[in-house]
Amino acid sequence: MKALAALTRLSRLSLNEKRLKLLALQADRDKLAAARDRLLREIDAEREAAAASIEGSWGFSGFLEDARLRLRVLGRDFAELYLRCFAAREEVLASFSEVKTYETIRKNHRARERAEEKLRERGETDELALEVFRRGASTGLSQAKN
């Protein structure tokens, strides 16, 4: 039973570590999404500035080309991070299932121990009752003979 308790504890620790890893990956994914959103807002602001003046429109095409390249890189990084999040989520689910299995085994073991204890107590009570009955019966016979 001690080994099972240790396994359960280790599984919980492993689950917590995997949850923290998943949270870190999700935070990184959120940062990438925020960077993409900032870049899109920057593109819109530059487009408005380029539309407002001829000088601004000359540099806009170079800016737009660079921004598109950055968007592709962000998109690739976001997709990679999404896959890593998915894999981490699967690890968390597997670890959670492992913890639940150990907890169920411990619960069943405790229930079996309680049932065995009740059965032993019932046997002791039955034995005591039988002994009392025998003594009462033998006392009753000896009193009837007198």
The domain segmentation of the chain, as residue ranges, is 2-109
pLDDT in tens, 11-69: 999 999 999 999 999 999 999 999 999 999 999 998 988 888 877 778 888 889 999 99
d(CA 33, CA 38): 9
pLDDT of 143: 59
User: Mind giving me the DSSP string for 120-138?
Assistant: HHHHHHHHHHHHHHHHHHH
Q: State the average pLDDT for the chain.
A: 90
The mean per-residue pLDDT over the stretch 77-95 comes to 96
The mean per-residue pLDDT over the stretch 116-136 comes to 90
State pTM to two decimals: 0.70
H/E stretch holding 108: helix 54-145
In contact, 51 and 57? CB cutoff 8 Å: yes
